[in-house]
Structure 1
Amino acid sequence: MNLLDIKNLSIELTSHGENILAVDRVSMAIKDGEIRGLVGESGSGKSILAQAIIGVLDDKWHVEADRFHWQGKDLLRLPLEERKQIITKDVAMIFQEPMSCLDPTNSIGEQIEESLDSKQFSGYFWQKAQQRKAAAAKLLHKVGIKNHQACAKSYPHQLTNALCQRVMIAIALAKRPKLLIADEPTASMEASNQAQIFRLLASLNQLKNMSILLISHELEKISHWTDYLTVMYSGQFVEAGTTEQIFNTPFHPYTKALIASTPRAKNDVEKKSRLHAMPGSIPGLQHLPIGCRLGPRCPNAQKKCVRAPQIESYHGHQVSCHFSHREDY
């Protein structure tokens, strides 16, 4: 059974009396113990989709889906409070902007201790307090913060953005979630620190059987750590399959362009030569094309593309394109 099973999820934004379809009929499933990558340019709707999963979107966003199941339970049919209890207990998220997500009035140690599950502690209240401090220190060590005592006493504004990102990861891990959503978890880190965080997430997946949804606009960066990949463009589903399928036999023109733009895709790239780039830019929410939203940038675009393509599956490799050239598989 899938841990998370979403079919035809749409998210509408109400702005100045106008409804804008920010996410259009996206489907995605995450199995127990799976690491799935969610990739696409900035503005593809990846973060909005993640926020819809954990239920933190405000009233101006409207979420609808044919199916929105968590461990077999249809979340959209449950009362709001019951839905929040399930998600709060089983799902944690690492946000892109840690400085704005941390509480500026509480110390780092207090915020981590508050996130810990009280059921894992026993004894009198002073013994539980000591256990909480020890557990918080262990989490800070786990995410690579060596001077945990100074960090625990600090407030968010006293730390760098990279350290705040590590703290956010520690707070997310404190919940011992079944699904961890990591939205650009290493955006403000150096390459060596990025590798350390990715190794940490991979070890949690292997040792704790924690499922992970890894969100990034850099396909190559997360491809080393994922089992499956889902590609989005401008709020629409583009392609999904195993990481090997996506890299070896991409069907969709957008996926092909993403892979072609990575140095790893070409071993014969000359020094200082230009990498491949798709012309144009991702459209704004106020000016979305009809049908396939890649149409104005797509090299294969034809009249047929004014209608949104249907999702087709070939040996578990899914693609949403009128002209995907699957015969090359």
Structure 2
Amino acid sequence: MPLLDIRNLTIELDTPHGRVKALERVSLTLNPGEIHGLVGESGSGRTLLAKAILGIPGHNWTVQADRMMWDGQNLMEMSARQRRALMGCEMAMIFQDPMSSLDPAISVGAQLIEAMPENKTISWWKRAADKRINAQQWLHKVGIKNTQKVMSSYAWELSDGECQKVMIAIAVANKPRLLIADEPTNSMELRTQAQIFRLLSKLNQLQNVSILLISHELETLSQWCDRLSVMYSGQIMESGPTADVIAQPYHPYTKALLDNIPDYSNAEHHKTMMHTLPGSAPALQHLPIGCRLGPRCPQAQKHCVNQPSLCHQKDRYFACHFPYHNEPCHDEPLTKS
């Protein structure tokens, strides 16, 4: 049974320009112990999807879904209190903006200790000291050297990179079953990025933590993820095993992302122009009719004015009328089963 199963999730936002669909018919399945990559450019709706999973919607959101299940439980039927309890112990998220996520009036150490579970196997009068030692160990694991100084500091006294490492320590210290990492290595040097990804991989392998890894860097996700989903303008364009998606992309947008990865094998390639799609992603209040990639797609034809359904072939999903390396698919969209 999947740990997380979402079918046809739609999120509408009330804006000064009227109601717009920020996410439309998004489907996502995450199995226990899986690292699932979610790739897309800024504004594609990746963070909205993560917040919908956690149950922290905005005041102007309208959320609808055919199915939104967590380990056999219906998230749509849970109360706000049940969702908060679930988020506190079984789900955790590394937010993209650490400075606004940490409390500026409470020391970093106090926030980290508050998020850690109590070790009830030791005497109660030793638990405070045990938590503090464990907190310093987690800070050391995410790449912070002077742990005592950081523990006594406030968020506004630290750099963006240090705050990001603190956020990662807070998220993983509780050992959740699902960890949502939204650009977890923002504002970090390359050596620290590799250290963070190794830590996440170790949590996945040793403690069976499922990870939803959100990034705009397809090259990075291809190295760490078991499965990959590609988002564009609030919709899933393609999904499947990472190796299959990288080796043989079906959707033109996936192919464009792969063509945009630098080729380091040839010394002369760094001087050549990179392949890019014409135009830019549409604004939510001016979405195109039919396929949202249509105005920019090199494969676009007249039939693309009709919105493509999410087709399922073997272990691959894609939403395109004229996919690469495949026959045209006109299946019905995924519905509630």
Instruction: State TM-score, norm by structure 2.
Output: 0.93
Secondary structure of the residue that 1:21 maps to in structure 2?
Answer: strand
Secondary structure of the residue that 2:271 maps to in structure 1?
Answer: coil
Structure 1 segment 143-292 matched on structure 2, within 5 A? 143-264=142-263, 270-292=269-291
Give the Cα separation in 2 of the matches to 1:266 and 1:260.
Answer: 14
Match of 1:66 in 2: 66
**Aligned-pair distance for 1:55?**
1.2
Are the counterparts in 2 of residues 121 and 128 from structure 1 also a CA contact under 8 Å?
A: no
Match of 1:80 in 2: 80
Task: Give the stretch that moved more between structures: 30-39 or 52-61.
Answer: 52-61
**Aligned-pair distance for 1:267?**
5.6
Secondary structure of the residue that 1:240 maps to in structure 2?
Answer: strand
Give the Cα separation in 2 of the matches to 1:128 and 1:82.
Answer: 27
Give the Cα separation in 2 of the matches to 1:120 and 1:108.
Answer: 24
Secondary structure of the residue that 1:50 maps to in structure 2?
Answer: helix
Q: Deviations over 1:132-185 (max 9, x none)?
A: 111111111111112111110111111110010000000001221100000000
Any gaps of 5 or more consecutive residues in structure 1? none
Residue 260 to residue 142, structure 1, CA distance change in 2 (3 Å): same
Task: Give the stretch that moved more between structures: 140-149 or 84-93.
Answer: 84-93
Match of 2:298 in 1: 299
Any gaps of 5 or more consecutive residues in structure 2? 328-337
Are the counterparts in 1 of residues 250 and 326 from structure 2 also a CA contact under 8 Å?
A: no
Task: Give the stretch that moved more between structures: 107-116 or 278-287.
Answer: 278-287
Q: Using the aligned pairs only, state the percent identity.
A: 51
Secondary structure of the residue that 1:263 maps to in structure 2?
Answer: coil
Give the Cα separation in 2 of the matches to 1:46 and 1:29.
Answer: 15
Residue type of the partner of 1:10? T
Secondary structure of the residue that 1:149 maps to in structure 2?
Answer: helix
Secondary structure of the residue that 2:3 maps to in structure 1?
Answer: strand
Give the Cα separation in 2 of the matches to 1:27 and 1:160.
Answer: 37
Secondary structure of the residue that 1:241 maps to in structure 2?
Answer: strand
Are the counterparts in 1 of residues 263 and 269 from structure 2 also a CA contact under 8 Å?
A: no
Are the counterparts in 2 of residues 220 and 264 from structure 1 also a CA contact under 8 Å?
A: no
**Aligned-pair distance for 1:326?**
3.9
Match of 2:52 in 1: 52
Task: Give the stretch that moved more between structures: 251-260 or 290-299.
Answer: 290-299
Give the Cα separation in 2 of the matches to 1:69 and 1:269.
Answer: 50
Secondary structure of the residue that 2:150 maps to in structure 1?
Answer: helix
Match of 1:112 in 2: 112
Residue 261 to residue 286, structure 1, CA distance change in 2 (3 Å): same
Residue type of the partner of 1:68? M
Q: Deviations over 1:263-307 (max 9, x none)?
A: 249868623211111111111112111221101101111222122
Match of 2:334 in 1: none
Residue type of the partner of 1:225? W
In the alignment, does 2:323 pair up with 1:324? Answer: yes
**Aligned-pair distance for 1:249?**
0.4
Residue type of the partner of 1:181? I
Q: How many residues align?
A: 328
Q: Deviations over 1:170-202 (max 9, x none)?
A: 000122110000000012111111111111111
Give the Cα separation in 2 of the matches to 1:148 and 1:120.
Answer: 25
